């Protein structure tokens, strides 16, 4: 393609679901004005994003189980990717996530290689981090905390952070789409509205009018968008909701994401709240479900920069989040609050007590070891339940945090992201 533009390759394993996959798609669209953009994926199975108008290259080497198969896969992916980079005369290659970073760095030719360390799990293998750092032109992150950790633990300074883009208008538009399968009553059936804001239809007069149905109970719905993965800590959230339900029988929980949720349904049943918890599965558009909720809670023990939290904030939802390794503290705390926290706890550890941040409530990080025993309740789960109850008890607090959440969401504009990423890419043209 000879149009005077440089060739940019974005690399991601799949386009199934998840935060960095969404950022990859957004980056491709934002950079099309400046570059010939190609997205390289390892498998096209279950693509869940709109790729209309994008150049997507599938090398068709899907993930396999077993150490030997994984090693063979890496070599296959590297060989195919190296050839594609050469054939397309790629100038800059930017990868998202650990498995893509391996292939990007090991297939390095004459192009500039940018790797993305986007989650705390990416930092837990020192050999891997050193490989990426040594073979990368620059390491990009979506969190200040990861940049700080690279400097402190690896003495690595060729890194910078760019916060993920958030298209508030798009999220809000998608949030108004009607849904017919909201698990708790009629919420969401009229473009994300709640029963309180939807006028009741006028009853027609009939000779023998039947009694009007009883009004739907005024429930309070907590939402979370998360796949079934231990890093999302959903068992903590289910246990916290069980505690809350003892004093707030109106509470409900809906978790939207892919996976087999049988263990979680059993946990809810064992805790006596099976009628208050729902796992509808993956939804191509989860936003109407969040729009129909009252509160958003993130119980993750690992994140990079949680897009789902920002998307909920764009929908005007108050947020409570665990202070997992990276991300939430940078979103929910003001700059002054964040700087105070890292000054008070310079090693990056989580505080021992909840923090009432300017833009949301931060609760201490919780255990990453799965525990589905209904009789085991941790102090972290109790603290999370206490903050949920406090929010549900105080409508003014809920409204205040909803307003502040929306204000914060407006900070992460696609235009700001586009300017930042383009400025970095221009250095290596």
Per-residue pLDDT band for 211 (boundaries 50, 70, 90) equals very low
> pTM value?
0.77
| Portion of the chain with pLDDT greater than 90, in percent | 70
Q: Rounded distance, CA 402 to CA 418, Å? A: 27
Per-residue pLDDT band for 257 (boundaries 50, 70, 90) equals very high
Statement to judge: residues 161 and 245 lie in one domain:
no
Statement to judge: residues 258 and 138 lie in one domain:
no
Position 205 in a domain: no
Task: Name the more confident of 327 and 210.
Answer: 327
Q: What letter does residue 226 receive in the DSSP assignment? A: -
Statement to judge: residues 65 and 153 lie in one domain:
yes
pLDDT at 96 over 80: yes
What's the pLDDT score for residue 195?
Answer: 36
* Distances from the Cα of 321 to the Cα of 229, 313, 330, 355, 395, angstroms: 17, 12, 11, 10, 19
Angle made by CA atoms 122, 128, 129, in degrees to the nearest 5: 65
Mean pLDDT of 113-129: 83
Position 207 in a domain: no
Mean pLDDT of 117-138: 85
Statement to judge: residues 137 and 62 lie in one domain:
yes
Per-residue pLDDT band for 19 (boundaries 50, 70, 90) equals confident
Helix (H) or strand (E) holding 127, with range, is helix 126-135
Per-residue pLDDT band for 319 (boundaries 50, 70, 90) equals very high
Mean pLDDT of 11-39: 91
Task: Return the residue matching tokens 């986007």.
Answer: 118
Position 209 in a domain: no
Angle made by CA atoms 222, 225, 230, in degrees to the nearest 5: 105
- Residue 372: which domain range? 168-196+218-409
Per-residue pLDDT band for 1 (boundaries 50, 70, 90) equals low
Closest of 15, 56, 62 to residue 32, by C-alpha:
56
Q: Rounded distance, CA 284 to CA 271, Å? A: 30
Statement to judge: residues 152 and 277 lie in one domain:
no
Statement to judge: residues 158 and 190 lie in one domain:
no
């Amino acid at each position: 393609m000879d149009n005077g533009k440089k060739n940019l390759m974005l690399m991601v394993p799949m386009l199934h679901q998840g935060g960095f996959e969404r950022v990859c798609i957004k980056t491709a669209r934002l950079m099309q004005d400046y570059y010939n953009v190609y997205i390289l994926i390892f498998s096209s199975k279950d693509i869940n994003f709109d790729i209309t108008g994008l150049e997507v290259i599938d090398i068709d080497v899907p993930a396999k189980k077993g150490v030997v198969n994984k090693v063979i896969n890496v070599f296959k992916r590297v060989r195919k990717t190296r050839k594609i980079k050469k054939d397309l005369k790629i100038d800059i290659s930017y990868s998202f996530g650990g498995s893509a970073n391996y292939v990007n760095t090991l297939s390095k030719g004459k192009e500039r290689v940018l790797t993305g360390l986007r989650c705390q799990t990416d930092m837990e293998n020192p050999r891997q981090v050193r490989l990426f750092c040594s073979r990368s032109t620059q390491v990009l992150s979506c969190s200040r905390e990861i940049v700080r950790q690279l400097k402190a633990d690896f003495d690595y300074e060729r890194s910078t952070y760019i916060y993920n883009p958030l298209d508030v208008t798009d999220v809000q538009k998608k949030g108004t789409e009607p849904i017919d399968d909201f698990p708790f009553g009629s919420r969401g059936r009229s473009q994300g509205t709640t029963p309180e804001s939807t006028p009741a239809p006028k009853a027609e007069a009939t000779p023998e009018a039947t009694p009007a149905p009883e009004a739907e109970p005024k429930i309070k719905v907590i939402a979370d968008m998360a796949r079934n993965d231990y890093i999302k800590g959903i068992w903590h959230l289910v246990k916290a909701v069980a505690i809350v339900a003892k004093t707030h029988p109106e509470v409900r929980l809906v978790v939207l994401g892919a996976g087999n949720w049988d263990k979680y349904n059993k946990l809810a049943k064992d805790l006596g709240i099976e009628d208050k918890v729902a796992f509808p599965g993956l939804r191509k558009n989860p936003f109407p479900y969040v729009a129909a909720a009252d509160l958003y809670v993130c119980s993750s023990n690992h994140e990079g920069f949680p897009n789902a939290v920002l998307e909920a904030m764009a929908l005007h939802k108050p947020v409570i989040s665990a202070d997992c390794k990276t991300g939430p503290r940078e979103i929910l705390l003001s700059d002054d609050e964040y700087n105070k926290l890292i000054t008070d706890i310079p090693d990056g550890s989580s505080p021992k007590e909840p923090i009432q941040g300017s833009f949301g409530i931060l609760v201490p990080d919780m255990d990453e070891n799965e525990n589905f025993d209904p009789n085991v309740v941790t102090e972290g789960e109790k603290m999370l339940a206490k903050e949920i109850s406090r929010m549900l008890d105080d409508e003014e607090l809920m409204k205040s945090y909803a307003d502040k959440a929306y204000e914060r969401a407006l900070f992460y504009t696609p235009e700001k992201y586009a300017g930042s990423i383009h400025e970095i890419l221009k250095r290596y043209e």
